[in-house]
């Protein structure tokens, strides 16, 4: 979100995250933006002012909430581990009420809206409207916004300082996998288990002997393996042990996209899962954006959890466009 907003011309003062492993990646790719390692449940409104110098009722201030979304996700994970994070929107609401910024942006999974009472979304939206904000929110198909995935996200953009509804621009063309990765896009052919020591990070996960045989037999350009069809009916990830298609958008890039068994993450033609760099590129990170976590899995987690920068850029440009039309 930070990177895309910066490309749109917005001065991002700081970003807050509880995870120290993302600090180096955030700071080195967003020079001049401060990384605040903090638990927002413990961070006070005045603490944030001390860290950043922001003030109440600033018409130019944008507060953005992109909280972890595992609890509201449709992916079948252990909800006990993410139970605390389910209330992060309510914590974000606390900062919005205190600072009363010109703009508010929220990005999350569609499940946040489906359980609007429990997640705090209804109370959040009602309060924004009561305080004079024009609020627009929807479930966005990011493939309509320059992202080559079937990724759907809940996004909210609210303004109390402009007259119009702030809405990112769609485009007619929906990008597909071949528009972003492949040898024709600068991705050399590599085997499973390849380690790229350069900043390009075209590193692929190892495959067991069994899974290597499975992917070799999986039809190229979008095929589903025999193993998946025979043994995984109704269980696991619906598209696991499958290849991406050049001619279609990629599936949602999750935190486990480097794994052939965790979704349709097989390369369209090569006998491996997609690499770190391919996943990042399908998330619309530029090729010179470097990830600095110590393990491949940690880097994949950062990439999969991220808001695609291209979508963030379009949100930022929509805000800038509305501001250019003049404030109230």
Q: State the Cα–Cα distance between residues 262 and 281, nearest whole angstrom.
A: 19
State the Cα–Cα distance between residues 128 and 328, nearest whole angstrom: 17
pLDDT exceeds cutoff 90 at 72: no
Least confident interval from 10-14, 86-90, 265-269, 293-297: 86-90
pLDDT of residue 235 exceeding 80: no
Nearest alpha-carbon partner for 328 in 138, 5, 103 = 103
Classify residue 212 as exposed, middle or buried by CB count within 10 Å of its CB (0-12, 13-18, 19+): middle
Confidence band for 110, pLDDT divided at 50, 70 and 90: confident
C-alpha–C-alpha distance, residues 184 and 187, integer Å: 7
Give CA–CA dist 247/176, Å, rounded: 6
Classify the phi-psi angles of 296: left when phi > 0, otherwise alpha if psi is within -120 to 50, otherwise beta: alpha
What pLDDT score was predicted for residue 82?
Answer: 47
Query: Are 320 and 9 contacting, i.e. CB atoms less than 8 angstroms apart?
Result: yes
> Left (φ > 0), alpha (ψ -120 to 50) or beta: where does 132 sit?
left
Would you state the pLDDT for residue 79?
Answer: 45
Structure tokens at 23: 């600090």
Report the C-alpha gap between 175 and 247 in whole angstroms: 9
The CATH code for residues 181-283 is: 3.90.120.10
pLDDT of 150 higher than 50 = yes
The CATH number that domain 2-169+308-324 falls under is 3.40.50.150
Nearest-angstrom CA–CA distance, 113 and 118: 10
Assess whether pLDDT exceeds 60 at residue 229. Answer: no
Q: Could you identify the residue written with the tokens 């009722």? A: 57
Each residue of 274-311: pLDDT tens digit?
A: 999 999 999 999 999 999 999 999 999 999 999 999 99
Stretch(es) of the chain classified as CATH 3.90.120.10: 181-283
Report angle CA 50, 53, 57 to the nearest 5 degrees.
Answer: 115
Domain with CATH 3.40.50.150 in the chain: 2-169+308-324
- DSSP notation for 272-318: SBPPHHHHHHHTT--TT-----SSHHHHHHHHHHSPPHHHHHHHHHH
- Kindly state the percentage of the chain with pLDDT values over 70: 89
51-65, 72-86, 240-254, range with the lowest pLDDT: 72-86
* pLDDT the model gives residue 73: 46
pLDDT in tens, 152-171: 999 999 999 998 888 999 99
Neighbour count for residue 47 (Cβ, 10 Å) = 13
Q: Give per-residue pLDDT as tens, 203-218.
A: 999 999 999 999 999 9
Average pLDDT, the chain: 90
How many helices, marked H, and strands, marked E, lie in the chain?
Answer: 12, 6
Cβ proximity of 267 and 243 under 8 Å? yes
| Between residues 21 and 69, the one the model is more confident about | 21
- Phi and psi at 25, nearest 5°, equal -60, -45
pLDDT band of residue 225 (cuts 50, 70, 90) is confident
If you average pLDDT over residues 60-84, what whole number do you get?
65
């Amino acid at each position: 979100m930070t990177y895309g907003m910066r490309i749109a011309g917005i001065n991002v003062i700081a970003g807050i995250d509880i995870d120290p492993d993302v600090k180096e990646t955030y700071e080195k790719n967003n020079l001049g933006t401060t990384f605040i390692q903090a638990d927002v449940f413990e961070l006070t409104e005045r603490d944030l002012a001390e860290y950043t110098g922001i003030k109440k009722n600033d018409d130019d201030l944008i507060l953005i909430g992109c909280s972890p979304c595992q609890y509201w996700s449709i992916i079948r994970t252990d909800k006990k581990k993410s139970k605390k994070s389910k209330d992060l929107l309510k914590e974000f609401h606390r900062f919005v009420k205190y600072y009363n910024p010109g703009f508010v942006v929220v990005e999350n999974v569609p499940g946040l809206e489906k359980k609007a009472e429990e997640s705090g979304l209804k109370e959040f939206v009602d309060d924004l409207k009561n305080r004079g904000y024009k609020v627009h929110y929807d479930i966005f198909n990011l493939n309509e916004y320059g992202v080559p995935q079937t990724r759907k996200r809940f996004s909210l953009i609210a303004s109390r300082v402009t007259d119009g509804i702030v809405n990112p621009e769609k485009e007619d063309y929906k990008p597909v996998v071949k528009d972003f990765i492949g040898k024709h896009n600068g991705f050399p052919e590599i085997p499973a288990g390849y380690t790229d020591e350069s900043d390009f990070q075209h590193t692929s996960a190892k495959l067991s002997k069994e899974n290597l045989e499975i992917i070799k037999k999986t039809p190229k350009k979008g095929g589903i393996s025999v193993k998946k069809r025979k043994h995984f009916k109704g269980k696991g990830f619906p598209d696991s042990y499958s290849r991406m298609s050049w001619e279609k958008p990629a599936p949602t890039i999750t935190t486990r996209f480097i794994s052939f068994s965790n979704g349709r993450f097989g390369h369209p033609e090569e006998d491996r899962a997609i690499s770190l760099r391919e996943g990042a590129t399908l998330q619309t990170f530029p090729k010179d954006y470097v990830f600095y976590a110590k393990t491949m899995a940690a880097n994949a987690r950062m990439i999969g959890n991220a808001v695609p920068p291209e979508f963030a850029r379009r949100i930022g440009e929509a805000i800038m466009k509305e501001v250019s039309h003049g404030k109230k």
